[in-house]
Structure 1
């Protein structure tokens, strides 16, 4: 089959530093109708025309690598196509569904960590001679965290089963990612206020989860962008920006 020449750059590439290959979503037919203009290619990172630059200064997700990949006239054959030619959008959409479920799960994991920290701390820390867990405001925060966690897990498990059965729509994956990351982030802030100054210590863990939840809000599509996308089926008679 015909060869393709890939030229361009992808910033904010996660863990490409350790990857042997990357999937490149490239424009192959710009004049075609939307959804049929791109193709996904599997490209080896050791190609001489592929270069990688680590991005410095990141203050979250320290366990992962983030960098920029440059493709300088990289030649690939038709055998490198993932899926079908000019159906790259379909491939990426399916991948993003799974990625958004993953982000929702990570958000709930951070929330579960915060709930455990707050439950323990509120029973040990005393004010006015009693544990702070006896105060109704503290109880309100803790039970709200527990309710949100249970709701999120129930929702996520249902969507994961639909994903496994290939019946998950993109809007549902977007909505669970939006809600779980947003609610977990809000609850982490309240958890830190309950635990006070100790929350600022990396050793305690809450501040790290709070920082990392920012990635959950913007990763796999920012929440702001996904809200507009998810709202379209709710108002099919008008064009949403």
Structure 2
């Protein structure tokens, strides 16, 4: 089994690392404090110029066509510096992949180059609602056919990049009489369409620079050409694309966890107590050994899931396993790293306080850890 990376994958990983170290890391704390959208969008624009908004999109549509493994590597490196930037990058790539997977040729040629080039600043993935979180089939937003149009009414919650995304992929019920999850369709909707209003940015625990908004649809009229894929078949699209998104969020968590451990490791080498460096104490050495081992295991799970997806094979269970393990152990890594820092870890002057806040949501969004366990168990038991 060859676990080595290709030259292209190494190049993308190195490019992401260098950009993260030079451009993102120096301003991550500032963005967490100020949520400076101008600075945030400037960084996103630079990432777009480097090709990071279309990593798994075909070159004919303006993408890099580097594959899922390269995507995972890039998100990890970006997240080492700034989780807010990483989540926006991940979601925009996910939106582009939805359009590539189920859009018709006209939709792909119209929207993908704009996402990959930065003409669209970001894409929004409009699935979650107040009654449809872990159970997305319970959504209430409806799209009613009216002549050659659909009229969308409803609200979506917790939409990453809601305040500046220029295009949304939106799920809505098109057949209320169908069984739960069977009458849902997928639409591509430009953000400046009449009837769309964006709620205020949520006050979040972490990843503060990346805005999270409610998106309201009030008699939002879109042409029939906005429908992606077959009518009433959109739920399967959502489920499939969420699996790909889990690779992104697992990779993000890995990056944050590694950043926390690297900082704590350097700290205990320098910090002295009882007449010697903290790194000389076996208890702390073992903590580092355990957490780094878990992060390496997370990396391998993510690589397996990404490679399986890249090969066009079923990857849903692998993605759920990777996200479950990576996010839970990244949380543990951040909290143990903070503990290794002692009182300094609790002070905002040091990055551990921010990293611990940023990592917490990774075991919640794109499917909670509990939902990942449900998916994994269902796959394990379905053939018995």
* TM-score relative to the length of structure 1: 0.92
**Residues 1:179 and 2:312 aligned together:** no
Contact 1:93 1:170 in 2 (8 A): no
Structure 1: unaligned runs, 5 residues or longer: none
- Greater mean deviation of Cα atoms: 116-125 or 33-42: 33-42
The one-character-per-residue Cα deviations of 1:72-91 (angstroms, maximum 9, x if unpaired) are 11122221012222221222
2:189 to 43, 52, 55: 43
Query: Structure 1 residues 122, 168: CA separation in 2 closer, same or farther (over 3 Å shift)?
Result: farther
Bigger relative contact order, structure 1 or 2 (CA pairs below 8 A, ≥6 apart): 1
Compute the displacement of 1:236 (Å): 3.2
Structure 2 unaligned regions, length at least 5: 1-146
- Separation of aligned partners in 2, 1:28 and 1:48: 20
Counterpart of 1:105?
251
Q: Deviations over 1:98-132 (max 9, x none)?
A: 21001100111011112211221111111111111
Matches within 5 A, 1:30-179: 30-33=176-179, 35-179=181-325
- Other-structure match for 1:8: 154
Distance 1:54 1:168, change over 3 A: farther
Residues paired across the two proteins, number: 238
Q: 2: CA distance between counterparts of 1:178 and 1:166?
A: 22
Q: Give, in angstroms, the shift of residue 19 of structure 1.
A: 1.1
Q: TM-score, normalised by structure 2?
A: 0.59
Structure 1 or 2: more strand by fraction: 1
The structure with the largest alpha-carbon Rg is 1
**Displaced runs of 4 or more, over 3 A:** 30-36
Residues 302 and 323, structure 2, Cα contact 8 Å, conserved in 1: no
CA-atom RMSD in angstroms:
1.8
Please say which of residues 99-108 and 158-167 is displaced more in the overlay.
158-167
